Every structure is written in C-alpha cells, then in structure tokens.
C-alpha cells in the first residue's frame, strides 16, 4: 500500500464564506462596484454640465429620487469602507523607518485620516456647505 | 517565466485607490446632499462650470474620474476571479475597455466645457 | 529494495548536518551528498537555541581565555587538543555565517556585537536577538539550497548503518511518507543526529531529540563516550520544560523554597544578597550546576512546593516591578503566563531543573572521526570531548559549525581512492533492517505498550540518574533499563499502516533512547567520583587519579554493555580547582 | 550585604496563600474534559477523510498539542501529526483549529469552548490524518533564491560586512519566518491559484533584498516579478493576521509590488533604464560598508 494524498479542492465560488476575514476582504473588494457606478454617474454629470445650465439643473433634479438616495447611501458606505481599509493598509505598503525604529503603523494611518478629514472639510467649505 | 506587465495596470490602480480614498467620500457627500434636495452652493451651474472650465479644474476632475474608474475596473477584475469567474482575460478586456471609454468620455465632455 | 548511491551520506540536517553538507559541497563539487533527516531541516532542534554562540573577536579577548573557560568549565574532562582547535576555528565559522547572511546583532559602527554569557570571562557570545540558534539554522538551510550536489531526503528516518569490510558504507532509512525502506550506499557517513534529552521526562529538548544517531553508531560498533554527563538547566517550567532564561536571575529574580527562604544561602552560595540587588558569583548568580544541585537538596528536605505539575521551587521576580519586567523580560512573562497561567508580576513562578544537553555522545577525535572507519560524527550526538563534564552555554552552537565542517573535510578525504564496495554484502544487511521492521508489523505477541515503556524509562532516568546519583540508585537504574530493553523486544506496534506511521517512529525512537539510556546509566554507575554534571552522593570528590578518563561504552546486543576508558588529552592546563565564579564574570 | 538573617523579607518571598493551592490557575489543579474532533485520513484504508471524536482529560493551561499528545499516548496511537519544539519555533505543528491556521503548540485550550475541531493545514494535500505534504512550499522556497548573493565578494579573513543596527532592523522582521506555512493555509489566492509563490517564500526574497549586504535582487526579480510572484497577491492580508512570528508577509509583498512597478517603469519607459540591479543599488545608496 502506499501514498494517496488527499487533495481538498477550494470551492471557487464559495470559499469566502469559510471565514469572517474573507468576508471582510470581499466586502472591501466589492466597494469597487459602487465606486465604479458612482464614477459613471460623475461622467454623466460632466456630460450634463457640458450641455448647458438647463441640462445641469435637470441632472441635479434627477438625483432627487428614492433610488438615487439609496444608491448614494450605498456608495457612501463603500467609499468610507474603502478609505478606511486603504489608510490602514498604507503603513504596510510603505513602512517608514527612522533610524533603527519603524514609525508605528497607527501613526502613519492616523496621519492619513487627519489629512483626509482636513481635505474633506476644505472641499465641503469650498462647495459652500458651510 | 517572464516578468509580468502587471505594473501597467497596477500602478494606476494603486493611484486610483488613493484618490478614491481621499476624494470620493466627500464628493459622494456633495451629490448626496443634492439628492436630498439641499444642493450645496458650489454645485450651482455657474460655480461648477467655472471650475470645470479652468485648466486646473479640468485636470482635477479628469484625474479623479479616470483613476477612480480604472481602480474600480481593476479591482472588479480581481473580484470576478475571486468569485470563481475564470475567464480572466475576457473580464480584464471588458472592464479595462469600459474604464478607458469612461475616461475618454469624461475627457471629451470636459473639453466641451 | 531501492538503493540510492551517493558519496557521502549525512544523517541529520540540523546545524551540524547542514554545515557538513555545505562544507562537502564546497570542498568538492563532484561529490554527491545525501542529506537525510527525519524532519525538514528547519524543524531541527538547533532552532530552539536562544542565547548565542561563542567566538573570540573583540580586542580585549584572547584565545587563551576562551581555552581556560572551556577547559575549566568542563571540569578538565575536555580534550585540550580539541579545545585548542575549536577556539581557533570558532571565530572563522561565525564570520562565515555572517558572510552567508546571518542577522547577527550589531554595534553602532556596523561590527558584530557580542554579549556576556554564563561561564565566559569575556563578552564573546555572538547573538541574533534571542533567536540565535534559529537564525543559524535558517541561514545554513537557506545557504544549502544553492548547492545542486546536496540532495535532501527530508522525512527519512535513518535506521541502521551498513558496515562491511570493517568500514561504514551506508545506512538504511525509511521514507516516512510511504513507509518504504531504502538503502543508501555511501563511501562515508556523517552522523549529525542531535541529542537525546527525551530520555528524561522533563527536558528543554524537542520531541525529535531521541538519540537515534548515537544509538545507530553504538549498535554498529562505535563506542559512546562520557554519556553519564547530562546537563540540567536550573530554571525550567515544570509542565512543558520550557526554558526560563538565566536573565531572570541576572535581572534580580530570587529563588525561594516553600518557607519563603532563599535556600541557595544554605548551599555555599550565600551569604544572602539584598533582594533585587544581584551580585555576580553568589546566590542566584551561582553556577548553573550548583543551583540545580541545590534544588535537589531542597527536594530531599521536603522544602519544595507541591504543585499540580510536581515538586517545584519558586522563582520570584515580583519585586522587579511590572515596568522592568516588561522591559527586560517580556518573553519570560509571556511564556509563564501562556503555559502556566502565572503572571510573574503578581506571582512567583514554580520552576525546576530541566534536562538540557548531552555532553556525551559518539566518540570522535579532533578530526570528527569515530573509531569505525568511514563513520564521522558531529554536533550534539558526538562527543569530541570539547565540553568535558559540563558544557558552557554558547559553546555548542559553535561546536556544530566547527566540527560539522571538520567532519565534512575528513569525509571528503576518506572517500578518495576507496576500494569498490561489496553491494551484495550491503544488500544483505539492509534486508536485515527490513526484516526488523517487518517483524514489528507482524509481531503477534506484542504485549508491551510503547508509551508505557517510555514512561517507565523516563521515570527511571529521572529518579536514578538525575542531578545527584548514588550507587544504589544507579544500580537500580541499570537494572531497570536492562529490563526495559528486554521488554522492548516485545513492544507492540498498534498502527500497521504504511504512510506516515508515527506510532512506528515512536517505537523506533524508544529503542534508540533505551540504548542511550543504557550507556548513561552504566557509565554513571562506573564513574565513582563527582565531576561537573555527574554528582554522586557517595563519591563527592573529583578523583583525577582514577577518573581523569573518558568512559567508553560498547554495545553488546541485549547483554550488558562493555565499559572501558580512554585518557583525557591534557596539553597545557593540568586539572585545577574549578573556578565556579567564572560562570558569571 | 545583609548579615544573612534566617529568613529575609518573608512577605515578599513567601508565595501568597499557602504555597501549592494558589499556584497556577485559581482553584489549584484544574482539569477539564476536552472534546476534540479530529480529521482522520488513512490512504491505506480510506478514500475519504472523516472526523473522529476524542474525549481527553486535560489541564486547563494545556495547548491543543498537549491534548493530541495525550490522545496519542493513552487513547489512540494511530493518530498522526507533526510536532517537535513545543515552543512555537520549529514550525512543524501547524493545523487548522476551528478553521483557523494555528500552531497547535501555541493554541491554548483556555481560548476554546465546546468541541475543538482539528484539521490538517488547508491548501496542502493531506498525506495522512493531520500530516500534510509541504513539497510545493519547499520547492517555492528554493525558487526565490533565499540566500545572500553578496554585493561584493570578500574572504572570511577580511572580517564582517559592516551593517548598522538600522540596516539590520530594515530586514530583521522578515528573517523571523519559521516556515510554518500558516500563511499559505490562510491565503485564499494560494488556495485558488496553487502556482502562486505565496507569502512566506516571497517574504524571504524580500528579506534578502532588504539586506544591505545583498546584491541579488535582480536575480530574484525573475521569480518575484512574474505573474506567479507578487502579482498573484490581492492583498487579502490574511497571511499577516495568522503569522505566529509577526513576520507580516502582506507588508513585504506590497512593498515588492511597488519596487517591481518602479523597475518596470525604469525598464520600459525610461530610455537607457535597464534592470532591477540599477534600482537596487540606487535604493541602497547611503550604505556604509
Ligand atoms: C532550549 C535550548 C536552548 C539552547 N541554547 C543554546 C545556546 O544558547 N547556545 C548554544 O551554544 N547551545 C544551545 N543549545 C544547545 C544546542 O542548540 C544544541 O546542542 C544543538 O543545536 C544541536 O544541534 P545538532 O545539529 O547536533 O542537532 P539538531 O539540531 O537537534 O538536529 C538533529 C538532526 O538529526 C536528525 N535526525 C535525528 N535522528 C534521525 C534519524 N533517525 N533519521 C534521520 N535523521 C535524524 C533530525 O531530523 C535533525 O535534523 C540549546 C539547546 C536547547 C534545547
Ligand atoms: S510568514 Fe509567518 S505564517 Fe508564513 S510561514 Fe513564515 S512564520 Fe509561518
Ligand atoms: S493572504 Fe494572500 S493575497 Fe497577499 S496579502 Fe497575504 S499573500
Ligand atoms: S511544535 Fe514546534 S512550532 Fe509547534
């Protein structure tokens, strides 16, 4: 008698149910669908903008539907989730060594969050939100 | 095995990921406000038009839109694979072409402004 | 039976085996090298060594000092020509590892850093964080990957040496994943099989340290030397045997018995020093063996603490405070918390001495050659007589390198111009091994359980051949081990499957351990003196007149082994008073 | 020095609350019956794997490996698994414990409730019971040339290659890998695409690339920068989450993606830009040695 190694196939379409961390990963990846769709919306917006004031107003009015609100909510969640995962990851992709020591990872991601908040506030301010 | 040309698609993906993280949330907030009926002053036709008409404005808008599109397309390509879709070349072609088309469209519209 | 032809077969891919393989590959790119190991190389127990490796490198140090430390530390049982060779090769070997990428700790100017170590008068221990052995092993393993002439046979369990025409010409080994026995025909064999601490119930040694290499050579006719010298480390966790580093005491930890007394003061290591102010050479900073021995006396007096893991004394570090403990002893805190559930900030840790290292092993000379032509040995399984009666910490990692390489060079020389081997004779021997295995599988009267025999052996070793020994206890030990060896021939193999049958390997390992245990007990009974790690209550003095000699134990099948002696080589340092204070200078 | 009083500082030195009883977990000896559900597979007799239940009397502070050892010694000698060091350094005892890749010598019973499910490491073929075949990993390890390829050869007699503590720290973390393969069992991309060189092997390449003494990055790029190299990694990050030695392979791989991308740009977009070797030596400008 002899060897007969047992190969356990990974189920290609359902593997991510096996562990919560895989679900978190898939959630991160799926944000791209909403971001992508939202980018398409932006392109449409550009088209409307190019078409003149009436078209632009129509575009803004068109945003005011229940579907649009739901979509925006989803896109917002996706965008925030993406931002958080991205900022937390940067310290891994680009660790910073000063002398012997590495700058602690949460300092790096913390700096990202800070810049992000400031940038967002500036944009909101320029856009006249407050 | 030959070295991969992945960097061609990966670099813009990484750049786009950063752009999405920093810029998209706040932009979504803006249009969300509009969707709720509180159109921010900055989204008026005059303001938007003026912004998009300036060279810098065009550059920013194009950068954000095209990189974000690219990043999303690339990530979707990987996600398709993760979901068990094994036709990677096909998925890549469709998605990248879509992203490029979207970017080109954005460029055309911007130039018309 | 499959035959694998090679030039040199190396048994064991720990530090010693890998160093030998690389040295062979470098010495002669035409040599075919078979590297046989029962575990993947990086699983070898060299990975567990923490402290570091000694080699003279700094300007304030000298070869003479390293010589004196080693010979004195070994209680003059070291062969001084061997020590001489060793101390000169040591820095070269450590430097060679540096050139292979070993991440040695560094000084600010980029040179290699050294730290002080027990028994060494100068700072000369090279270290890679607290994972020196790990880094040495992985550096060697990774370096070995670039040599195409090294063919690894991972997870092959070596069984018997093939000896014909008065010389060693190969080995049989079981491929563990298939259960198939193969024979390796080789012009020379190097054994680098590691130690045998698993003969004892409490050991810092990994599960693989079962003395297979020693037993293999022993059965093939090469004598085992100085096996009675077994090193105990004073502070091990009582359940897992994990080591709590000497630094616990270096930082100011104290040892107390169940009455709260710092009992070391009662064993010539006092007077007591103030708590939290450790001083070199006294009390808790006494020498390793003396501290271990004091535990034994406390045990006899009933002063030990009874815990769920057996009799212990307490290592108290609470007065160091949480801050210092976290700063200096984070690993110790984690270890005690994780494995015992004791937080050293809040509680004293129960500890006990734990078997750590075998000074004895296959008898080799300074060329790493055994008395059996064609057979070489290096590493913990060998006794080249560097460590004498007591090994100094951080000498053995270097021993692996120095004598691993030396064994390779000797083997490379040996294989030149050998007469052709008699394949038929070798095949016939290999068949015998096959029969031995087959018999285990078909044995119907197997009545002895493997784990039962193992337990009895471990209890016997602990009880009779521990830190202190007596005539009566040793005699009991000899008798018991003899009995267990007889009973072993009726051991029952429960698992009859072919693939990765660890029941089978454990049975075989038990056989090896019993062979080694026999040499330990017989050697200890015969050595009527106290020297280094061999302490007898009935012969408390060192006896240079009768026992400045190496014990040589010869295998005699199931009969009692033969014992004779070999003189110690003394070149320039006549036996003197062992300077225990050197341990912490 | 004190004059050796018969008993020094009793309150400090005395074990609190009458010795034995207070040692270890409260309540003295704390035994617990643990239910293990172990995946069994014997190629001699089985065509499929199945779970087997064992009830083991354990000490509270034991690890899963201790429980398995108890099964092996007292209940079922035919159970097979690897282990050696019992101190999380030899890397042999990796298993899936309740679905998570773990070193069984570092998986504490007190962290588990109910039945503990023990399976062989995911993504590797099962040789028998909990023993997997690591051949694929071993082969990949070799492919990344995980050894020092010196920038400049020099004889031993010329002494050490100088390396500052800061230069050492740059790669030290990546040299701590114990080859336990938990990261391979955790990485879904390795599971989906077995050709992927995988976290530990690539990280080892990074370890040498980052070593100030090394000049072999260009050679390693031939493996690292391929499709099966870093580009198969989608930054799941599971590898770093399960790594018992805190090596952080995810970090190493992302860094390598960045350098590989820079290489590509240098090679393809900058006239005269050639190989990784250039970037490698540029990166290390400012070395001492
Ligand atoms: C916890 C601990 C800490 C230590 N700290 C230090 C220190 O700080 N400094 C120091 O100098 N020393 C230290 N030592 C001692 C030192 O680590 C060992 O003596 C040394 O590593 C032994 O190396 P080796 O190559 O001889 O054997 P090992 O590394 O044990 O390798 C033995 C090899 O033989 C193989 N083998 C065994 N039997 C068979 C068989 N039947 N068939 C095939 N292959 C077989 C095994 O697979 C393995 O590859 C320490 C030891 C321990 C346990
Ligand atoms: S990187 Fe970590 S998890 Fe992966 S093999 Fe190395 S030590 Fe194990
Ligand atoms: S889990 Fe796998 S995908 Fe990359 S980050 Fe780790 S190797
Ligand atoms: S037994 Fe060595 S890592 Fe667990």
Q: What does pLDDT average to over chain A?
A: 95
Residues of D in Cβ contact (< 8 Å) with B7? 260-261, 263-265
Helix (H) / strand (E) element for C256: namely strand C254-256
**Closest CA in chain B for residue A63:** B35
Asked whether the beta carbons of D186 and D238 are under 8 A apart, the reply is: yes
Give the pLDDT confidence of C213-257 residue by residue, as tens digits: 999 999 999 999 999 999 999 999 998 888 888 778 877 899 999
Residues of D in Cβ contact (< 8 Å) with C317? none
Neighbours of chain C (3+ CB pairs under 8 A): A, D
Ligand 2 neighbourhood includes D181 CB (under 6 angstroms): yes
pLDDT of residue D17: 33
Q: B8–D260: do the CB atoms touch at under 8 Å?
A: no
C482 a catalytic residue: no
CATH of the structural domain D135-283, one choice from 1.10.1060.10, 3.40.50.300, 1.10.4160.10, 1.25.10.10: 1.10.1060.10
Confidence of residue D122 (pLDDT cuts 50, 70, 90): very high
* Active-site residue (options: C66, C249, C262, C536): C249
Helix (H) / strand (E) element for C9: namely strand C8-11
Classify residue B23: in a domain, yes or no. Answer: yes
Q: What does pLDDT average to over chain D?
A: 87
Q: What is the mean pLDDT of residues D260-287?
A: 66
Ligand 3 neighbourhood includes D253 CB (under 6 angstroms): yes
CATH topology of domain D31-132: Ubiquitin-like (UB roll) (3.10.20)
Residues of A in Cβ contact (< 8 Å) with C441? none
Residues A14 and A76 occupy one common structural domain: yes
Q: What is the mean pLDDT of residues D187-200?
A: 96
The range of the structural domain enclosing residue B68 comes to 11-112
pLDDT of residue C324: 83
Q: What is the mean pLDDT of residues C149-164?
A: 98
Q: What is the mean pLDDT of residues C168-172?
A: 98
Residues of B in Cβ contact (< 8 Å) with D228? 1
Pick from C490, C507, C500, C502: which is nearest to C454 by CA?
Answer: C507
Asked whether the beta carbons of C552 and C260 are under 8 A apart, the reply is: no
CA separation, residue D217 to residues C395, D204, D209, D261 (Å): 35, 12, 5, 14
Q: C259–D7: do the CB atoms touch at under 8 Å?
A: yes
Residue with the smallest CA separation from ligand 1 atom 6 is: C49
Asked whether the beta carbons of C247 and C547 are under 8 A apart, the reply is: no
Confidence of residue A123 (pLDDT cuts 50, 70, 90): very high
Classify residue A88: in a domain, yes or no. Answer: no
Best of B11, B18, B25, B68 to mutate (most A CBs within 10 Å, chain A)? B25
Asked whether the beta carbons of C187 and C135 are under 8 A apart, the reply is: no
pLDDT of residue C289: 77
Residues of B in Cβ contact (< 8 Å) with A112? 21
Pick from D173, D221, D232: which is nearest to D197 by CA?
Answer: D232
Distance of CA D174 to the CA centre of its chain: 10
Residue for token digits 């070869």? C63
Distance of CA C42 to the CA centre of its chain: 17
Confidence of residue C130 (pLDDT cuts 50, 70, 90): confident
Does residue C497 have a pLDDT over 60? yes
Q: What is the mean pLDDT of residues D103-115?
A: 96
pLDDT of residue D284: 43
pLDDT of residue B23: 97
Give the pLDDT confidence of C508-565 residue by residue, as tens digits: 999 999 999 999 999 999 999 999 999 999 999 999 999 999 999 999 999 999 999 9
Compute the Cα dihedral for C292, C298, C304, C308 and give only its sign: positive
Does residue C133 have a pLDDT over 60? yes
Give the pLDDT confidence of C356-381 residue by residue, as tens digits: 999 999 999 999 999 999 999 999 99
Pick from C260, C237, C258, C259: which is nearest to C248 by CA?
Answer: C237
Pick from C134, C76, C152: which is nearest to C574 by CA?
Answer: C76
Residues A65 and A109 occupy one common structural domain: no
Residues A100 and A75 occupy one common structural domain: no
Confidence of residue D272 (pLDDT cuts 50, 70, 90): confident
- CA A2 to centroid of ligand 4, rounded, Å: 27
Does residue A44 have a pLDDT over 80? yes
pLDDT of residue B40: 94
Classify residue B93: in a domain, yes or no. Answer: yes
Here the ipTM equals: 0.94
Q: What is the mean pLDDT of residues C563-576?
A: 96
Name the E strands within C237-333: 254-256, 305-307, 310-316
Asked whether the beta carbons of C481 and C497 are under 8 A apart, the reply is: no
Lowest mean pLDDT among C284-298, C568-582, D92-106: C568-582
Does residue C501 have a pLDDT over 60? yes
Pick from C75, D240, A126: which is nearest to B30 by CA?
Answer: A126
Q: What is the dihedral of CA A114, A115, A119, A125, to 10 degrees?
A: 40
CATH code at position B70: 1.20.1300.10
Ligand lying nearest the CA atom of residue C377: 1
pLDDT of residue C73: 87
Does residue C136 have a pLDDT over 90? yes
Distance between CA atoms of residues C262 and C325, nearest Å: 21
Distance between CA atoms of residues C304 and C298, nearest Å: 6
pLDDT of residue D275: 53
pLDDT in tens, chain B (113 residues): 688 999 999 999 999 999 999 999 999 999 999 999 999 999 999 999 999 999 999 999 999 999 999 999 999 999 999 999 889 999 999 999 999 999 999 999 999 98
Neighbours of chain A (3+ CB pairs under 8 A): B, C, D
Pick from C144, C120, C117: which is nearest to C132 by CA?
Answer: C117
Pick from C568, C465, C566: which is nearest to C522 by CA?
Answer: C465
Greatest mean pLDDT among C23-27, C290-294, D27-31 lies in C23-27
Q: Do chains B and A touch (3 or more CB pairs under 8 A)?
A: yes
- CA D179 to centroid of ligand 2, rounded, Å: 5
Best of D5, D24, D129, D153 to mutate (most C CBs within 10 Å, chain C)? D24
pLDDT of residue C585: 36
Give the pLDDT confidence of C274-298 residue by residue, as tens digits: 888 877 667 887 777 778 889 999 9
Confidence of residue C581 (pLDDT cuts 50, 70, 90): very low
Q: If you count residue pairs, one on A and one on D, with CB atoms under 8 Å apart, how many are there?
A: 76
Residue for token digits 């535990």? C295
Classify residue A117: in a domain, yes or no. Answer: yes
Distance between CA atoms of residues C449 and C287, nearest Å: 40
Residues A100 and A77 occupy one common structural domain: no
pLDDT of residue D16: 35
The range of the structural domain enclosing residue A25 comes to 1-81
Residue with the smallest CA separation from ligand 1 atom 50 is: C49
**Closest CA in chain A for residue D190:** A10
Q: Do chains A and D touch (3 or more CB pairs under 8 A)?
A: yes
Q: B113–A120: do the CB atoms touch at under 8 Å?
A: no
What's phi and psi for D76, nearest 5 deg? Answer: -145, 95
What's phi and psi for D116, nearest 5 deg? Answer: -100, 125
Distance of CA C536 to the CA centre of its chain: 22
pLDDT of residue D29: 54
Q: Do chains B and C touch (3 or more CB pairs under 8 A)?
A: no
CA separation, residue A82 to residues A27, B23, B24, B64 (Å): 9, 11, 10, 15
Lowest mean pLDDT among B56-70, C261-275, D87-101, D112-126: C261-275
DSSP state of D44: T
Q: How many domains does chain B have?
A: 1
**Domains and their CATH numbers in chain C:** 232-356 (3.90.700.10), 423-540 (1.20.58.100)
Partner D, chain C 339-398, Cβ-Cβ below 8 Å: 339-342, 347-348, 350
Q: Which tokens sit at D77?
A: 């000698």
Does residue D5 have a pLDDT over 70? no
Classify residue B33: in a domain, yes or no. Answer: yes
Ligand lying nearest the CA atom of residue D181: 2
Give the SS3 label for residue C552: strand
Q: Which tokens sit at C225?
A: 């030397």
C490 a catalytic residue: no
Does residue D18 have a pLDDT over 60? no
Q: Which atom of ligand 4 is nearest to the CA of D178?
A: 3
Delimiting residues of CATH 1.10.1060.10 domain(s) in chain D: 135-283
Pick from D36, D73, D81, D86: which is nearest to D56 by CA?
Answer: D36
Residues A70 and A107 occupy one common structural domain: no
Classify residue B3: in a domain, yes or no. Answer: no
Asked whether the beta carbons of C319 and C289 are under 8 A apart, the reply is: no
Distance between CA atoms of residues C349 and C251, nearest Å: 15
∠ at Cα D3 (D2, D4), nearest 5°?
Answer: 95
Q: What does pLDDT average to over chain C?
A: 93
Pick from B106, C92, C499, C271: which is nearest to A50 by CA?
Answer: B106
Distance between CA atoms of residues C396 and C118, nearest Å: 13
Please tell me if residue C475 touches chain A, with a CB cutoff of 8 Å. no
Best of B45, B65, B80 to mutate (most A CBs within 10 Å, chain A)? B45
Distance between CA atoms of residues C28 and C43, nearest Å: 27
Is residue A65 packed enough to be buried (19+ CB in 10 Å), middle (13-18) or exposed (0-12)? exposed
Asked whether the beta carbons of C67 and C83 are under 8 A apart, the reply is: yes
Distance between CA atoms of residues C340 and C325, nearest Å: 17
Q: Which residues, including other chains, have CB under 8 Å from residue A54's CB and lie 6 or more apart?
A: none
3-state SS, one letter per residue, for C103-165:
CCCECCCCCECEECCCCCCCCCEECCCCCHHHHHHHHHHHHHCCCCCEEEEECEEEEEEEEEC
Pick from C285, C288, C214, C213: which is nearest to C251 by CA?
Answer: C285
- CA B101 to centroid of ligand 4, rounded, Å: 54
Distance between CA atoms of residues D58 and D83, nearest Å: 18
Distance between CA atoms of residues C521 and D114, nearest Å: 46
Q: How many domains does chain A have?
A: 2
Distance of CA C283 to the CA centre of its chain: 27
Distance between CA atoms of residues C169 and C428, nearest Å: 13
Residues A4 and A48 occupy one common structural domain: yes
Give the pLDDT confidence of C301-333 residue by residue, as tens digits: 999 999 988 899 999 999 999 988 887 787 788
Distance between CA atoms of residues C180 and C523, nearest Å: 36
For chain C, the C-alpha Rg in angstroms (whole number) is 23
Does residue D281 have a pLDDT over 70? no
pLDDT of residue C578: 66
Please tell me if residue B86 touches chain D, with a CB cutoff of 8 Å. no
Asked whether the beta carbons of C38 and C206 are under 8 A apart, the reply is: no
Q: Which atom of ligand 3 is nearest to the CA of D234?
A: 3
Does residue C502 have a pLDDT over 70? yes
Distance between CA atoms of residues A35 and A15, nearest Å: 24
Distance between CA atoms of residues C577 and C574, nearest Å: 10
């Amino acid at each position: 008698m002899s060897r007969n190694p047992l190969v356990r196939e990974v189920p290609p379409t359902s593997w991510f149910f096996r562990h919560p961390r895989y679900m978190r990963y898939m959630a991160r990846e799926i944000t791209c669908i909403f971001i992508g769709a939202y980018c398409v919306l932006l392109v449409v917006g550009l088209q409307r903008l190019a078409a003149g004031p009436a078209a632009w107003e129509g575009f803004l009015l068109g945003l005011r539907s229940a579907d649009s609100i739901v979509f925006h909510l989803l896109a917002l969640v996706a965008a925030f989730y993406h931002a958080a995962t991205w900022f937390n990851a940067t310290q891994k992709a680009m660790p910073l060594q000063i002398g012997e020591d590495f700058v602690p990872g949460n300092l790096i991601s913390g700096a990202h969050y800070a810049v992000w908040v400031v940038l967002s506030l500036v944009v909101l301010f320029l856009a006249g939100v407050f | 095995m030959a070295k991969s040309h992945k960097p061609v698609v990966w670099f813009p993906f990484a750049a786009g990921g950063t752009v999405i993280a920093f810029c998209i949330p706040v932009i979504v907030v803006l249009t969300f406000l509009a969707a709720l009926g509180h159109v921010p002053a900055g989204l008026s036709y005059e303001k938007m038009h003026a912004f998009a008409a300036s060279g810098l404005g065009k550059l920013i808008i194009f950068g954000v839109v095209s990189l974000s599109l690219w990043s999303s397309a690339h990530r979707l390509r990987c996600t398709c694979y993760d979901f068990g879709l094994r036709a990677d070349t096909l998925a890549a072609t469709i998605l990248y072409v879509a992203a490029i088309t979207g970017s080109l469209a954005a460029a055309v519209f911007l130039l018309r402004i | 039976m499959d035959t694998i032809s090679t030039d040199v077969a190396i048994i064991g891919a720990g530090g010693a085996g890998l160093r030998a393989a690389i040295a062979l590959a470098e010495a002669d790119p035409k040599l075919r090298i078979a590297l046989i190991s029962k575990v993947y190389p990086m699983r070898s127990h060299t990975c567990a060594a923490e402290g570091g490796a000694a080699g003279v490198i700094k300007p304030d140090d000298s070869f003479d000092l390293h010589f004196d430390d080693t010979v004195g530390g070994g209680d003059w049982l070291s062969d001084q020509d061997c020590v001489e060779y060793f101390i000169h090769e040591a820095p070269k070997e450590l430097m060679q590892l540096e050139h292979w990428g070993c991440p040695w700790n560094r000084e600010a100017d980029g040179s290699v850093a050294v730290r002080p170590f027990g028994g060494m008068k100068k700072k000369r221990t090279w270290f890679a964080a607290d994972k020196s052995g790990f880094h040495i092993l992985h550096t060697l393993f990774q370096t070995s990957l670039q040599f195409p002439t090294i063919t690894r046979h991972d997870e092959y369990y070596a069984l018997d040496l093939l000896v014909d025409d008065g010389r060693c010409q190969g080995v049989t080994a079981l491929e563990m994943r298939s259960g198939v026995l193969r024979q390796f025909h080789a012009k020379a064999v190097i054994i680098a099989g590691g130690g045998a601490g698993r003969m004892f119930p409490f050991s810092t040694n990994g599960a693989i340290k079962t003395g297979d290499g020693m037993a293999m050579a022993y059965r093939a006719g090469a004598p085992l030397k100085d096996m009675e010298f077994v090193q105990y480390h004073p502070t091990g966790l009582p359940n897992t045997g994990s080591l709590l580093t000497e630094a616990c005491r270096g930082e100011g930890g104290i040892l107390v018995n169940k009455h709260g007394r710092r009992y070391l003061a009662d064993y010539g290591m006092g007077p007591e020093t103030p708590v939290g102010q450790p001083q070199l050479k006294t009390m808790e900073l006494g020498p390793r063996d003396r501290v271990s021995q004091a535990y034994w006396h406390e045990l006899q007096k009933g002063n030990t603490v009874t815990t769920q893991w057996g009799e212990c004394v307490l290592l108290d570090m609470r007065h160091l405070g949480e801050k210092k403990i976290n700063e200096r002893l984070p690993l110790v805190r984690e270890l005690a918390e994780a494995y015992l559930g004791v937080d050293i900030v809040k509680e004293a840790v129960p500890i006990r001495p734990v078997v750590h290292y075998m000074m004895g092993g296959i008898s080799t000379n300074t060329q790493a050659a055994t008395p059996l032509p064609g057979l070489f040995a290096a590493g913990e399984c060998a006794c080249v007589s560097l460590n004498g009666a007591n090994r100094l910490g951080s000498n053995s990692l270097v021993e692996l390198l120095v004598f691993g390489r030396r064994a390779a060079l000797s083997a490379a020389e040996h294989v030149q111009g050998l007469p052709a081997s008699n394949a038929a004779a070798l095949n016939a021997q290999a068949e015998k091994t096959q029969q031995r295995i087959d018999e285990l599988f078909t044995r119907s009267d197997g009545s002895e359980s493997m784990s039962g025999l193992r337990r009895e052996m471990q209890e016997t070793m602990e009880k009779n051949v521990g830190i202190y020994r007596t005539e009566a206890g040793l005699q009991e030990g000899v008798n018991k081990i003899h009995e267990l060896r007889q009973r072993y021939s009726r051991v029952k193999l429960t698992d009859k499957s072919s693939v990765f049958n660890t029941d089978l390997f454990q049975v075989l390992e038990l056989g090896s351990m019993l062979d080694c245990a026999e040499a330990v007990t017989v050697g200890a009974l015969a050595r009527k003196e106290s020297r280094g790690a061999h302490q007898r209550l009935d012969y408390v003095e060192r006896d240079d007149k009768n026992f400045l000699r190496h014990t040589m134990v010869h295998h005699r099948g199931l009969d009692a082994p033969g014992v004779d002696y070999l003189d110690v080589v003394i070149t320039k340092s006549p036996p003197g008073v062992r300077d225990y204070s050197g341990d912490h200078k | 020095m004190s004059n050796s009083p018969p008993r020094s500082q009793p309150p400090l030195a005395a074990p609190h609350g009458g010795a034995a009883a207070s040692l270890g977990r409260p309540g003295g000896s704390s035994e617990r019956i643990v239910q293990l559900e172990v995946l069994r597979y014997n190629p001699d007799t089985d065509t499929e794997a199945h779970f087997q239940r064992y009830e083991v009397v354990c000490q509270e502070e034991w690890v899963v490996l201790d429980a398995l050892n108890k099964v092996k010694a007292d209940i079922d000698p035919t159970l097979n698994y690897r282990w050696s060091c019992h101190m999380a350094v030899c890397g042999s005892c990796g298993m899936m414990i309740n679905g998570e890749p773990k070193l069984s010598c570092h998986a504490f019973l007190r962290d588990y409730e109910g039945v503990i499910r023990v399976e062989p490491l995911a993504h590797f073929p099962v040789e028998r019971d909990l023993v997997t075949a690591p051949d694929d990993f071993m082969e990949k390890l070799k492919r990344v040339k995980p050894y020092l390829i010196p920038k400049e050869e020099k004889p031993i007699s010329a002494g050490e290659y100088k390396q500052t503590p800061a230069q050492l720290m740059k790669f030290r973390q990546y040299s701590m890998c114990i080859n336990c393969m938990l990261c391979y069992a955790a990485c879904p991309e390795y599971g989906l695409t077995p050709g992927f060189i995988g976290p530990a092997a690539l990280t080892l390449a990074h370890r040498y690339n980052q070593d100030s003494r090394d000049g072999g990055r260009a050679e390693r790029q031939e493996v690292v920068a391929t499709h099966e190299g870093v580009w198969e990694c989608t930054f799941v990050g599971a590898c770093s989450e399960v790594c018992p030695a805190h090596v952080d392979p995810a970090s190493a791989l992302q860094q390598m993606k960045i350098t590989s991308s820079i290489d590509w740009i240098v090679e393809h977009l900058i006239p005269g830009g050639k190989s990784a070797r250039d970037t490698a030596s540029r990166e290390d400008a400012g070395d001492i040695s």
